[in-house]
């Protein structure tokens, strides 16, 4: 009885299930994704599309990336995309232009993450009245892979010959306009995108790093890796602990733009070396030819008791191998450290 009852229930259920599967519609894949657009400057990301958008900021001559993110999600169809942007160089002034560098496209998700996508790139320069219109088109007509992907257009805020784009006022940013932004599989998604607004900022006087340390009681060690955009001299100035000027040493004469990368010993020029010429405070300044005209202070250093203790330990370690002349100098340095200890900040 139980078996017969189970048959009466189970067999009609299987028949209904088979019937529903026979007439079930074919699977429908979701529509191909639209676009997200961002402008990336160094480590800063400015969202642009979908709205609302942020105005990107880039320094003169700086590099930036216009990143387009979309996806192909229909395995039965090949994917494609097409992107075109343009900008105008007014009266053909290099200082009102951008430079197109290159493009790259690659998957960022799925089994194809990290793989490159082939790009076809067309770059054009067309006269528009007294101006020149520059246009970049990036496309891929067929790719059988699926996943989310980026298409990057890499630009620089400079014109012909590397002439930096002039800074732009708040009410008149530089503009890059979209002609087309399309992605397709079974359907074509073509989006209207607002022009990208870019505020070009003046170059800072310098970028990079400069770090002081105590070489000995009378000299500093300066490790620097700098790009210099203004000025003509780098000067290390020495001061008392109470900010009284003592002396200075010009360590670099240059014509910007200039790059310097080195580690050097900079002694206090006050001679003879004694407690008066001991390093108390040091400052690295960018100046004009007149070193009193300071454009920017890049780094500063105050000798506290910790560096003095470190120097005493270094002398102690070197003492067994020092020659008699060297020991005389080291002993004098130890006496000067002792004389200055009461005044050194903790």
Residue 141 has pLDDT above 80, yes or no: yes
Identify the band that residue 25 occupies on the pLDDT scale cut at 50, 70 and 90.
very low
Banded model confidence at residue 32, pLDDT cuts 50, 70, 90: low
Q: Is the pTM of this model over 0.95?
A: no
What pLDDT is attached to residue 19? 39
Share of the chain above pLDDT 90, in %: 86
Whether residue 4 is predicted with pLDDT greater than 60 in this model: the reply is: no
Pairing of strands 63-72, 147-156: antiparallel
| Domains of the chain and any CATH numbers | 36-201 (2.60.40.740), 206-341 (2.60.40)
Q: For residue 108, what pLDDT is reported?
A: 97
pLDDT band at 62 (very low <50, low <70, confident <90, very high): very high
The C-alpha angle 326, 327, 332, rounded to 5 degrees, equals: 100
Task: Quick: pLDDT tens for 300-328.
Answer: 999 999 999 999 999 999 999 999 999 99
Mean pLDDT across the stretch 321-340?
Answer: 94
Provide mean pLDDT across the span 32-53.
93
Q: CB-hemisphere CA count at 13 Å for 211?
A: 5
Q: What are the beta bridge partners of residue 209?
A: 225
d(CA 103, CA 113): 18
Q: What is the pLDDT of residue 276?
A: 84
Mean pLDDT of 7-31: 41
Q: What is the pLDDT of residue 200?
A: 97
Q: Is the pLDDT score of 31 beyond 60? A: no
Under 8 Å CB-to-CB from 42, ≥6 apart: which residues?
A: 62
The predicted structure's pLDDT at residue 11:
41
Quick check: 205 pLDDT over 60? yes
- State residue 272's pLDDT score: 82
CA distance 311 to 316: 9
Chain centroid to Cα 267, Å, comes to 35
When pLDDT is averaged across residues 175-182 and rounded to a whole number, the result is 97
pLDDT of residue 33: 67
- Residue 3 pLDDT more than 50? no
| Mean pLDDT over the full length of the chain | 90
Quote the DSSP letter at residue 53: -
Respond yes or no on whether the N-terminal peptide bond of residue 320 is cis (omega within 30° of 0).
no
Cβ atoms of 169 and 114 closer than 8 Å? no
Q: What is the pLDDT of residues 261-299, one digit of tens each?
A: 999 999 999 888 777 899 999 999 999 999 999 999 999
Least confident of 8-12, 91-95, 248-252: 8-12
Residue with tokens 């003169």: 60
Lowest mean pLDDT among 20-24, 94-98, 338-342: 20-24
């Amino acid at each position: 009885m139980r078996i017969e009852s189970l048959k009466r229930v189970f067999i009609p259920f299987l028949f209904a299930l088979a019937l529903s599967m026979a007439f079930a519609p074919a699977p429908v894949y979701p529509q191909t994704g639209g676009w997200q657009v961002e402008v990336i400057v160094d480590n800063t990301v400015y969202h642009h599309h979908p709205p609302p958008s942020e105005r990107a900021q880039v320094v003169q001559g700086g590099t930036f990336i216009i990143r387009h993110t979309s996806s192909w999600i229909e395995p039965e169809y090949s994917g494609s995309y097409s992107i075109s942007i343009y900008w105008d160089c007014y009266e053909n002034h290099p200082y009102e232009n951008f430079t197109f560098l290159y493009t790259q496209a690659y998957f960022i998700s799925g089994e194809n993450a990290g793989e490159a996508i082939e790009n076809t790139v067309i770059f054009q320069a067309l006269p528009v009245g007294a101006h020149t219109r520059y246009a970049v088109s990036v496309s891929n007509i067929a790719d059988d892979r699926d996943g989310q992907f980026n298409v990057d257009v890499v630009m620089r805020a400079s014109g012909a010959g590397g002439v930096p784009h002039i800074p732009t006022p708040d009410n008149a940013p530089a503009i890059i306009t979209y002609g087309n932004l399309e992605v397709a599989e079974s359907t074509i998604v073509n989006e209207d995108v607002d022009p990208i607004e870019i505020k070009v900022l003046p170059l800072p006087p310098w970028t990079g790093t400069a770090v002081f340390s105590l070489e000995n009681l009378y000299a500093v060690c300066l490790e620097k890796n700098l790009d210099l955009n203004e000025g003509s001299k780098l000067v290390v100035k020495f001061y008392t602990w109470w900010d009284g000027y003592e002396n200075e040493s010009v360590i670099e004469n240059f014509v910007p733009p200039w790059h310097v990368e080195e580690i050097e010993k900079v002694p206090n020029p006050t001679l003879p070396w004694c407690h008066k010429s001991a390093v108390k405070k040091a400052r690295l300044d960018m100046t004009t030819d007149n070193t009193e005209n300071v454009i920017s202070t890049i780094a500063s250093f105050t000798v506290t008791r910790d560096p003095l203790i470190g120097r005493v330990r270094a002398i102690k370690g070197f003492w067994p191998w020092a020659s008699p002349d060297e020991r005389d100098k080291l002993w004098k340095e130890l006496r000067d450290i002792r004389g200055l200890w009461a005044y050194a900040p903790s």
